[in-house]
Amino acid sequence: MDNYPEGVYGGSELDYRSRYPSVGYSSDPAPQNSGQPTPPPLLMHASSSSNGGGVTSPSDQVSIGSSTVPTPGPGQPGPRRMSTSSRFEDKDEPPMTLDEGILNALYDMDCALPLLADRIKQSIASCKQVGTFFRQRADIEEKYARSLMDGARTSNDVYAKADCKAGTFVASYQAALRLQDQLGQNRMRFSQRLNEMSEEMFTLSREGDRHRKQHKDNGTRLQSTLQDSESVMDKAKARFDQTAEELERILVAKEGESFRDAGMRSTNAANAAAGNGLPPTGGKKGIGKAMTKGLFKGKNPAQMAKHEDDVRARMTLASEAFRKACVDSQKLRKEYFETHLPKIIRALKDCADELDNGMQYHLTRYAYMYESTVVQEGIHLSPRDPEEAGMKATFDSIDNRSDFKAYMQNYAVARNTPRGPRRAGLYDEGYVPAVPHLQQQQEQQSSTQQQQVQLPSAHSSLVSQAPPQLPPISNGNGSLPQPPSQGGPSPASTADMYVSPGIPASSGATFGVDLGDQLARDGTEVPKVVVKCAEAIEAYGLDSIGIYRLSGTTSKVTALKNALDKDIDAVDIMDEAWSSDINEVSGALKQWFRELPEPLLTYGLYHGFIEAAKKDNDRLRHIRLHEQVNDLPDPNYATLKYFMGHLDKVRRHEGINQMSASNLSIVFGPTLLGAPPEEGGLKLEDMSYQCKAIETILDKYQEIFVEEEDEAEDGAAQAQQ
């Protein structure tokens, strides 16, 4: 039996483990029959599914003489696996993490590929559900945001058209509407981010499904290749067994063994074959049938020897084919279980982890964004900085008393229609004394009458047009009515009480005083407060980041305002007390512009400036705004020219202070170009055009003011020549 090929007969599983230590059997004991040839690797786990240990059972062998022929077990539905439990034993690696332990457990599972594929399908379905939730929530937030913004703008428009209260009430009410509009914008940004996250979730699910199909198809293809190689090996084994049985029959006939001994030997071979799930190929019945039919009858010894040589030659070829099939199958199996399968499992696990981590990240991001949005709303409603006014503080700032006083003072001028009986009537109607509290106020003002400057012409004319006092007459009961006291109010002085509050109370008044009155009183072309503050800012504030955008401390701004209002000539803004924070100086200057009785660009030209700012063509918008600037009164034009020149110097340092023309226009647009009081004082829909008008004037400062002045000077020079 020495003609049987090495690697086909004999040996045991221990021999295979000693010959292939790289597979992971180095820890097993040494083989007991090291002198016998090693079986093909494929046969080692032929019955692993039945005995659970991958060790060849005694019933899986067919004895021929002193040799042992292992036979394969029943076919398995999938490829037969080699153990990978000790794949990393011979490598110096760091301790395994939880994920590596899970991967090793997956390597040793027969159902790893379908397990991971099904898990990824679950993750993809969850990912789609999360994306749908984000999209639905985005729709809800968008509807809510649009409702807030539309409600605020509609309420502002309706209020502006209706005959409603003005003063501090409308300022607080419009501030609340702006706050509501800002809350709506925050919610709109939240909705946009949710839509982006929804698209990212759907993209993640599509990528996960693509990777799942790709790796699953790759694994299926490799499994099919391995199963085909095992099928080829099984067929080669069947051909080899058939040739071996034929050789056995020849040897039985040649050696003249008894029919009974040959039958018993064949029966054992048949039982061994049946134990491996293969149909019996010999046995007593088969040999007896061959003998009775005279298979070897009539052949001489030479023919028998030739026949035996032919069978041995065919068996050698079958053995070589069987061994080659075993080697090829073992090579494919080793590549599959040690290279391809770990890569596929790791790729699928990475895909599953990416889906899980992506969903967790986006859900955590959603929670953070939702929390940030709600917290931001709370900060807007109730700021943490006590100097910033929230919604409650805004409504608390409503001064109904001052609103009513302003309404009372402006009523006669605004309506321009007398209501009720006149206090100073005809001669025979007598004279009614002034209201007591007005009389007391007039007495206080008369004590300082010598210190007041001459009132403007409009005011003087109003006083001169008042009816003169009449001599006392009888009141019908024999007594004379009491004449007004020397310090009491005359009809003319009573009329003074209802003149616009922009008239200065003293010679030093600066804030809240009409621009023309200030210039006429001080004898200057530009208000002193504008010149002082602008020079201070140009001296040490041009490089201050956010100049005019940032507000100074409210208490210090108020103190500087009061000092300027008391005696502007005595205030040294360059002093360290005021120069320590340039934002206090800029805040006082902004406050002066805000408290002007009429904005710098006047109510009468408001609509002209807005219509000019709406022009899309830059050149046309510049021309229209230039025309409106030329229509300004002289005091307003001179002040605007000086202030725009100052802002032009500020924006030249944009690289340092970050205040471009656009940023400066956002600060001064609503202040310099305010809507008339009869239109509500503040129109949100015109705010962008207010800023655009100031930005264009500032951008075209040279063309509007400097070049025009140069042309005027050239014209005057030519006229003199």
pLDDT per position as a tens digit, 56-94: 333 333 333 333 334 444 333 444 444 333 333 444 444
Q: Is residue 65 part of a domain?
A: no
C-alpha distances in Å from residue 503, one per residue of 406, 507, 512: 13, 10, 9
Rounded to whole angstroms, the Cα distance separating 298 from 685 reads: 120
Q: Pick from 489, 493, 497: which is nearest to 411 by CA?
A: 497
Q: Is residue 596 part of a domain?
A: yes
Whether the pLDDT of residue 353 is over 70: the answer is yes
C-alpha distances in Å from residue 156, one per residue of 53, 162, 182, 183, 399: 84, 10, 14, 16, 20
Q: Is residue 205 part of a domain?
A: yes
Q: Is residue 78 part of a domain?
A: no
C-alpha distances in Å from residue 370, one per residue of 126, 363, 365: 21, 10, 8
- Burial code of 683-706, b = ≥16 C-beta within 10 A, e = fewer? bbebbebbbbbbbbbbbbbeebbe
Query: End of a domain among 335, 365, 381?
Result: 381
Rounded to whole angstroms, the Cα distance separating 267 from 274 reads: 10
Which two three-digit tokens encode residue 174? 């419009």
> What percentage of the chain carries pLDDT values higher than 90?
26
| 205 or 337, higher pLDDT | 205
Residue 194's pLDDT is 95
Q: Pick from 603, 629, 626, 625: which is nearest to 612 by CA?
A: 625
Residue 242 CB coordination number (10 Å): 15
- In contact, 11 and 39? CB cutoff 8 Å: yes
Q: In sequence order, what are the beta bridge partners of 67?
A: 64
In the three-class reduction of DSSP (H, G, I as helix; E, B as strand; rest coil), residue 157 is classed as helix
Q: Is residue 665 part of a domain?
A: yes
Task: Write the burial class of residue 380 (CB in 10 Å: 0-12 exposed, 13-18 middle, 19+ buried).
Answer: middle
| 319 or 75, higher pLDDT | 319
Whether the pLDDT of residue 185 is over 90: the answer is yes
In the three-class reduction of DSSP (H, G, I as helix; E, B as strand; rest coil), residue 344 is classed as helix
Q: Pick from 529, 586, 530: which is nearest to 556 by CA?
A: 586
**What average pLDDT does this structure show over 2-10?**
38
Rounded to whole angstroms, the Cα distance separating 641 from 629 reads: 9
In the three-class reduction of DSSP (H, G, I as helix; E, B as strand; rest coil), residue 59 is classed as helix
Rounded to whole angstroms, the Cα distance separating 270 from 286 reads: 10
Rounded to whole angstroms, the Cα distance separating 61 from 268 reads: 10
* Whether 550 and 694 share a structural domain: yes
Question: CATH number of the domain that 615 lies in?
Answer: 1.10.555.10
Contacts for 183 with CB less than 8 Å, ≥ 6 apart: 148, 377, 380
Whether the pLDDT of residue 545 is over 60: the answer is yes
Residue 263's pLDDT is 52
What mean pLDDT value characterizes the chain? 72
- In contact, 279 and 63? CB cutoff 8 Å: no
- Number of domains present in the structure of the chain: 2
Contacts for 93 with CB less than 8 Å, ≥ 6 apart: none
Residue 641's pLDDT is 94
Q: Pick from 74, 100, 106: which is nearest to 88 by CA?
A: 100
C-alpha distances in Å from residue 626, one per residue of 145, 609, 664, 693: 39, 9, 19, 10
| Helical ranges in 25-167 per DSSP H | 48-51, 98-107, 112-161
Rounded to whole angstroms, the Cα distance separating 341 from 104 reads: 11
Which two three-digit tokens encode residue 94? 């760091």
- In contact, 241 and 265? CB cutoff 8 Å: no
Backbone phi and psi for residue 68, each to the nearest 5 degrees, phi listed first:
-125, 125
Looking at 279-283, 326-330, 392-396, which range is the least confident one? Answer: 279-283
Residue 253's pLDDT is 76
Rounded to whole angstroms, the Cα distance separating 70 from 82 reads: 18
Task: Write the burial class of residue 9 (CB in 10 Å: 0-12 exposed, 13-18 middle, 19+ buried).
Answer: buried
Rounded to the nearest angstrom, the gap between the alpha carbon of residue 406 and the centroid of all alpha carbons in its chain is 48
- What is the maximum alpha-carbon separation in the chain? 184
Which two three-digit tokens encode residue 160? 């502006």
Which two three-digit tokens encode residue 266? 């064949």
Backbone phi and psi for residue 93, each to the nearest 5 degrees, phi listed first:
-130, 155
Q: How confident is the model at residue 298 (pLDDT cuts 50, 70, 90)?
A: low
| 160 or 188, higher pLDDT | 188
Residue 414's pLDDT is 54
Q: Is residue 83 part of a domain?
A: no
Q: Is residue 126 part of a domain?
A: yes
Residue 501 CB coordination number (10 Å): 14
Q: Give the DSSP letter of residue 340.
A: I
C-alpha distances in Å from residue 104, one per residue of 84, 459, 495, 650: 8, 98, 99, 68
Query: End of a domain among 381, 402, 422?
Result: 381
* DSSP per-residue string spanning 237-301: HHHHHHHHHHHHHHHHHHHT--HHHHHHHHHHHHHHHHHTTPPP--SHHHHHHHHHTTTTTT--H
Q: How confident is the model at residue 256 (pLDDT cuts 50, 70, 90)?
A: low
Give the position of tokens 């009720």: 420
Domain hosting 624: range is: 515-720
Question: CATH number of the domain that 196 lies in?
Answer: 1.20.1270.60
* DSSP per-residue string spanning 634-668: HHHHHHHHHHHHHHHHHHTTHHHH---HHHHHHHH
Q: Is residue 98 part of a domain?
A: no
Whether the pLDDT of residue 7 is over 70: the answer is no
* DSSP per-residue string spanning 451-482: GSPPPPHHHHHHHHTSPPPPPP---SSS-PPP
Residue 331's pLDDT is 84
Residue 17's pLDDT is 32
Residue 141's pLDDT is 93
Rounded to whole angstroms, the Cα distance separating 127 from 133 reads: 10
- In contact, 70 and 43? CB cutoff 8 Å: yes
